[in-house]
């Protein structure tokens, strides 16, 4: 299934994308697409519905972040061999982990807003894992059974804040609008091999990133298992699994986003996000 959330006036409603690309409303069957809706039992009930019986949503609705009420947004750094190479860094011995503020989460077509003083805003297309059942001390063999599905993420980063202001990377990762998520949650059963997905990012039509999840240093089961040794992963938690080569800061000379730029981030089978950059003044 491709599950989503869309804006209807001042309310966000849950929806489903049918086989013809038509958005169908799920409000009669689930309150929201959040942690409570992501259990195997809940997803099974939604999968059993006949999409043709669900109300059509007219036009092209304004999509909200595909997951509501995210408790944790956990990021994995330096997880692609080509990205580590472009930065001149060794492969880490263990997954590099940092957190992104959940207040940064935005919809797949919402503007990316550069905060005041920002001049080195960068892009990072990433495969997102969405947790469906609580995971604590799970093995790699059982890790994926705790995953509800996948989505496209962009770990937007203000490099100056990230590197110059000291402390954790979180400072440059958590600005409002720096967590685009969507366009929909693709359930795990629809992704034959999450380690064979093509990731791309274009800026103003120029391709900047083109990678494949096969180049991950740490696999998805390794990531979920590793994190579960450190913290309980709860339904609705989101994990950004790293970005391939081609970020602006890794280019010579570096290239960063400016107001008016248009980003297109996409992952094969998971959809795409298209966003415009603007300044917060």
* Secondary structure, 3-state, 181-247: EEEEEEEHHHCCCCCCCEEEEEECCEEEEEEEHHHECCCHHHHHHHHHHHCCECCCCEEECCCCCCC
Q: Tokens in use for 271?
A: 């959809």
Every domain of the chain and the residues it spans: 2-63, 73-279
Instruction: Please enumerate in sequence order all residues whose Cβ is within 8 A of that of 87, keeping only pairs 6 or more positions apart, or say none.
Output: 78, 250
Helix or strand or coil: residue 266? strand
Q: Looking at residue 165, what is its pLDDT?
A: 72
Question: What is the CA 192 to chain-centroid distance, rounded?
Answer: 19
What are the Cα distances from residue 107, in Å, to 7, 31, 272? 10, 19, 11
Q: Looking at residue 90, what is its pLDDT?
A: 83
d(CA 218, CA 204): 31
Question: Quick count: other Cβ atoms within 10 Å of Cβ 168?
Answer: 12
d(CA 74, CA 41): 25
Q: Average pLDDT per run of 10 along the chain, which is 281 residues long? A: 96 97 97 97 98 96 98 95 79 94 98 95 98 98 98 95 75 95 98 98 97 97 98 98 94 95 98 97 74
Q: Looking at residue 160, what is its pLDDT?
A: 87
Rg for the chain, CA atoms, rounded:
18
Q: Looking at residue 281, what is its pLDDT?
A: 74
Q: Looking at residue 86, what is its pLDDT?
A: 80
What kind of fold does domain 73-279 have according to CATH? Fumarylacetoacetate hydrolase; domain 2 (3.90.850)
């Amino acid at each position: 299934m491709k599950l989503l959330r869309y804006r209807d006036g001042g309310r966000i409603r849950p929806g489903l994308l049918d086989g013809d690309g038509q958005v169908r409303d799920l409000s009669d069957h689930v309150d929201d697409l959040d942690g409570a809706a992501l259990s195997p039992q809940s997803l099974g009930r939604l999968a059993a519905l006949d999409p043709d019986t669900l109300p059509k949503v007219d036009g092209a609705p304004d999509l909200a972040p595909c997951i509501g009420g995210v408790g944790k947004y956990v990021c994995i750094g330096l997880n692609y061999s080509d990205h580590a190479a472009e930065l001149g860094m060794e492969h880490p011995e263990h997954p590099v982990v940092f957190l992104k503020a959940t207040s940064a989460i935005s919809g797949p077509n919402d503007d990316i807003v550069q905060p005041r003083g920002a001049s080195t805003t960068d892009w990072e297309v990433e495969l997102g894992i969405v947790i469906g059942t609580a995971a604590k001390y799970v093995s790699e063999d059982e890790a994926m059974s705790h995953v509800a599905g996948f989505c496209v993420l962009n770990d937007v980063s203000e490099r100056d804040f990230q590197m110059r202001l000291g402390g954790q990377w979180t400072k440059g990762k958590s600005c409002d609008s720096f967590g685009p998520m969507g366009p929909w949650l693709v359930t795990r059963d629809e992704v034959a091999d999450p380690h064979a997905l093509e990731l791309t990012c274009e800026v103003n039509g120029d391709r900047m990133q083109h990678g494949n999840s096969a180049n991950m240093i740490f696999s998805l089961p390794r990531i979920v298992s590793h994190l579960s040794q450190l913290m309980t992963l709860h339904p609705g938690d989101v994990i950004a699994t790293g970005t391939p080569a081609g970020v602006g800061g890794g280019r010579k000379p570096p290239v960063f986003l400016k107001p008016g730029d248009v980003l297109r981030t996409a992952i094969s089978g998971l959809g795409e996000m298209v966003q415009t950059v603007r300044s917060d003044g």
